[in-house]
Structure 1
Amino acid sequence: MNAQQLIEIITPEAYQRLLYAVETGKWPEGTTLSQEQRDACIQAVMLFQSKHNTEPEHMTIAAGGEVCFKSKSELKQQFQTKDENEILRVRTNDPAQDNAG
C-alpha cells in the first residue's frame, strides 16, 4: 500500500485514534504501543493531516503537506475572545470566597 492509498482509507475516527496513540503512547483501550507502532502512527497522522488539515494548529502538517508553525501573536489572536472584558466566573463552595468580591 502506498501513501496515497493509506490517506484515502483513514477515516476521521481512525485518525483520532492514531492521534491519541501518538500523543499518549497508548491506544485508547490502554495498550502500550511499541516503538515501531508509534513510528507508523506518526507517519499515518502526518499523511492524514497533509490532506485534510485545512486549519492547522501551532505545529502541525497543513493541507498540502507543508509544516505549519504559528507565531505566539497568531495563537493569541486565535484564542482572543470577542469581548476583551469577558471573564469566566466560577462559583466556589467556599463562603469566604463568595463574600470576598
Structure 2
Amino acid sequence: MTFDEMIDAMTVDIYQSMKRSVELGKWPNGEKLTQAQRDQSMRAVIAYEHKRNLPESDRVGFIDRTRADGKQHGSDPLEPDVLKILNS
C-alpha cells in the first residue's frame, strides 16, 4: 500500500487517533512513539487534512488570531505591505 492509498483509506477515527498520538507522543496503548513514527504520523495527519479539504480552523497548527471584538491581532501576513518613497 502506498502512502496516498493509506491516506485515502484512512477513516475519521484513525485520523483522530493518530492526531492524538502525535499530540501526546504515545500510541493509544501507551507505547511511546519513536521520532520516525511521530514524523510519519504528522505527515499522514497533514496529508489527510489536505485531501479532505478540512477548513483551515480545523487543521493542525492553526492559530486563531481574532480578538474578542472580531479584529485580528497583528497584521495579516498575506496582506501586501505599502511602501512609501520619500524624496529628499
Q: TM-score, normalised by structure 2?
A: 0.62
2:4 — aligned with what?
4
Q: Contact 1:3/1:47 (CA < 8 Å) preserved in 2? A: no
Give 5+ residue unaligned stretches, structure 1: 62-67, 78-101
* Greater relative CO (CA pairs within 8 A, separation 6+): 2
Aligned to 1:84: none
- What is the CA distance between 1:55 and its match in structure 2? 2.0
Equivalent position of 1:42 in the other structure: 42
Return closer, same or farther for 1:55/1:38 CA change in 2, 3 Å cut-off.
same
Deviation at 1:56, TM superposition (A): 2.4
Structure 1 length normalisation: TM-score?
0.55
Which aligned segments of 4 or more residues in structure 1 are displaced greater than 3 angstroms? 68-71
Q: CA deviation at 1:12?
A: 0.7
Two-structure CA RMSD over aligned residues (Å): 2.5
Change (3 A) 1:72 1:48: same
Number of residue pairs matched? 69
Larger proportion of helix:
1
Distance 1:15 1:69, change over 3 A: closer
CA distance in 1 between counterparts of 2:55 and 2:37 reads 27
In structure 2, list runs of 5 or more residues that go unmatched. 71-88
